[in-house]
Amino acid sequence: MLREKIFGLVTYSARQSLTSFAASLDEMAKNGVEFQIFKFSEKIGSFNSRYIFEDIRLITALLSKPLDFVILNSGSGLYLRPRLFLLILHILRYRNIPTFVLWRNASEKFKKIESRIGNKHYRKIAKTLHNGIHHMTISPQTSRDLLNAMGIKESTWIGNCQYMPDKYQNEVLPDEPPVVVNVAAVSKRKAPDLFIQIAAQVCSLHPTVKFIWAGGYAKKDHESLIEYYGIKDRVEFVGYLSPPYELMQRASAFLLTSRTEGFGLVVAEAMACYRTVFCFQGTGAEFAVGDTGVTIPRFDIDYASKKIVELLNLAPHQRINYRARERYEVMFSPSAYAQNLSKVIKNNL
């Protein structure tokens, strides 16, 4: 019989893999599930006393603590430490502790992992993970990617969550003239080139709109593209903002141009700010948006531009997206996430 309170251990490496657990810690406790969070490093092949301390602390906890469950979060991060990963799995099986692996990555991450650790280690871990492991993902898209990359047929998507400070919880009229925003690192996968191309087309159709990218600065090829389209005064890369919520509240639309995406937590954040999200089909962001935003056929700049202009032509108060906010509350708020994850854990103990 399952106890009223259960206790577990959760790992994390990259900061973004911590977010949902840190945000939902208190809400999980309300659902009878408590856990302690342990960090490990993805770095391999270099000596660092801090990394060694993290590994020892984690292994000691796995060997000694009374645990009802363990969530290895995220699976892709531990995959980069194959020996550590296999040791952890051996300990958990020896102690007969129910084990969950949470996958957060976009599809291309699997290829990078295999390239980095080698096919031998990659296949060995993949084979090990087929037995006695409960797999969780952040979206249906990640479940599909997991199946294609590793042959894991059964996984449960649990979504993602973010805590929003109270001052960003209220509906706010967007700026006029309108602003279209993206928040992402400046990388090929996040596709600033597509963002600029869509911006150029929208700017040709709307006289005052501006496009802002937060999360990094334009590289030389992006600056050249902006110069080519003659939109230097209407497209701006503003660097990293923490948090980006004030910018989201100013926006009339949120344009996520990622070519691949496991979930796209910034999408949920924009929805929490009552904003309409535009993203490409075939990504985890499509799941996050649901029917509250606009999902664009793969890299269809004409379609994206047309739909953004349609939104911008509405009055500012009509650009407030109440349905997006409701989807955030019901599916991606800390309380909703905690209820869903707690249920998945308890059902598999």
Confirm if 234 and 203 have CB atoms less than 8 A apart.
yes
d(CA 300, CA 182) in angstroms, rounded, equals 17
Say which DSSP state 318 is in: G
Q: Name the CATH superfamily, with its identifier, for domain 6-161+333-347.
A: Glycogen Phosphorylase B; (3.40.50.2000)
Confirm if 320 and 173 have CB atoms less than 8 A apart.
yes
For 254-311, write each residue's pLDDT tens digit. Answer: 999 999 999 999 999 999 999 999 999 999 999 999 999 999 999 999 999 999 999 9
pLDDT at residue 14 is higher than 90 = no
Mean of pLDDT values over 17-31: 94
Tell me what pLDDT residue 44 has.
60
Confirm if 38 and 57 have CB atoms less than 8 A apart.
yes
At residue 45 the predicted structure's pLDDT band, cuts being 50, 70 and 90, is low
Choices 3.30.470.10, 3.30.470.20, 3.30.2290.10, 3.40.50.2000: CATH for 166-331 = 3.40.50.2000
Per cent of the chain over pLDDT 70 is 98
Q: What are the helix and strand counts (H, E) for the chain?
A: 15, 12
What is the pTM for the complete model shown? 0.92
Per cent of the chain over pLDDT 90 is 77
Amino acid identity of residue 220, one-letter, is K
At residue 178 the predicted structure's pLDDT band, cuts being 50, 70 and 90, is very high
Residues of the chain with CATH 3.40.50.2000: 6-161+333-347, 166-331
For 58-105, write each residue's pLDDT tens digit. Answer: 999 999 999 999 999 988 888 888 889 999 999 999 999 999 999 998
